[in-house]
Amino acid sequence: MFDVAVKELEQSSKKDPGVVEQAKIITKDSESPSLKELRIPAAVGAIVQTPASSLWPYKLVSWILENLLAMNTPLEPSFNLQTNTPATHFQKSKDGFWIIHTTRGMIAAKKVLLTTNAYTSHLLPDFSDLIVPVRGEMSSLVPPESMAPGTDNPPLIKTYCFLGNKKQNINQDDYLAQRPFSARGEGGELMFGGGRSHAAGSGVGVSDDSSIDPPAAIYLRQELSKVLDLKNDGQEMKASYEWSGIMGFSRDDRPWVGEVSDDLNLGGGKGLFICAGFTGHGMPNACLSAKAAVEIMMGTGVQDVDLPAAYFLSKERLEMARSLDEVHISDASALH
């Protein structure tokens, strides 16, 4: 897997020389930094990427929603947020409106955007082979008592993605970001997710996030101190929280953005749009994909929208995607 990553980086660098300024290949012979300095002495190799960042997705979304609500005026509110109101199904009326049925009644709109990700096929069954639900496991691990600012075991200064640990294939990565410590020395939780190979069926096809996957949860508690040098003698870590979440895996690995027009035969029609299928990589893709979806809804031509061509929904892409292995097959393969 490391050889594949190095080859892909080298190929990307030939297309765009600026890539080498943002990523550095680290081998067992590398120094400044070495694998030991990166706190992963047992790794085959690493690729260090800069710039990078981490954020709290729930806080980001909450902030966006609060701002939208605050922008409303008493006489002409433009943003209406209905929580705990699932859309059960929809239908197209003769006058061109989409009628959305919810558990609290119906609403009508000329244009509708589905940001339903893993649950898209509930409303559009013809998408069931294109976007598949996959359950992932997440944990908030309490850092070792020795791990504190100003000590010889300081907090992490990088975020991590681990590939190929034990029996995990290249599609089943683990990822880590550490929360900051407070001025009183509290916090510093290690947010560690992954371990899908230990879940039944690797979580593929599971849309219920009301429970955790115990084998995957155990893996996360036990494995982090083995792949990362936390100076805690490889001991199992305590989790302050454990939870699961449902990702929407795309058949061709890319998000689906655009109008679900009649000619696609996906159960859609004029005025129905989609922005979904992020295959576990929503944070770096969702924001600008959503911006592109809204621009298309507002009438901007696809050719004038700033989005990778491979993300747009089209008949040609549908045919290509359905010529590929189904998600459960490709996810189980050694190299995706």
Across the chain, mean pLDDT equals 94
Structure confidence at residue 334 as a pLDDT band (50, 70, 90): low
Q: How far apart are CA 270 and CA 265, in angstroms?
A: 12
pLDDT of residue 20: 83
Q: How far apart are CA 287 and CA 80, in angstroms?
A: 20
CB count within 10 Å of CB 217 equals 20
Domain ranges within the chain, ordered by starting residue: 1-51, 85-130+251-332, 133-249
The two three-digit tokens of residue 116, written as one number:
């339903």
For 201-234, the DSSP string reads GGGBT----SS--HHHHHHHHHHHHHHS--SSTT
Do the bridges between strand 190-193 and strand 174-178 make them parallel or antiparallel, or are there none, so unpaired? antiparallel
Q: CA–CA distance from 60 to each of 48, 64, 138 (Å)?
A: 26, 6, 18
Residue 251 has pLDDT above 70, yes or no: yes
Q: What is the pLDDT of residues 265-320, one digit of tens each?
A: 999 999 999 999 999 999 889 999 999 999 999 999 999 999 999 999 999 999 99
Residues of the chain with pLDDT > 70: what percent?
99
pLDDT of residue 113: 97
Residue 336 has pLDDT above 60, yes or no: no
Residue 183 has pLDDT above 90, yes or no: no
For 75-86, the DSSP string reads SS------TT--
Strand partners, 273: 113, 259
CB count within 10 Å of CB 228 equals 21
Residue 94 has pLDDT above 80, yes or no: yes
Strand partners, 87: 102
Structure confidence at residue 193 as a pLDDT band (50, 70, 90): very high
pLDDT of residue 335: 59
What's the CATH superfamily of 85-130+251-332? FAD/NAD(P)-binding domain (3.50.50.60)
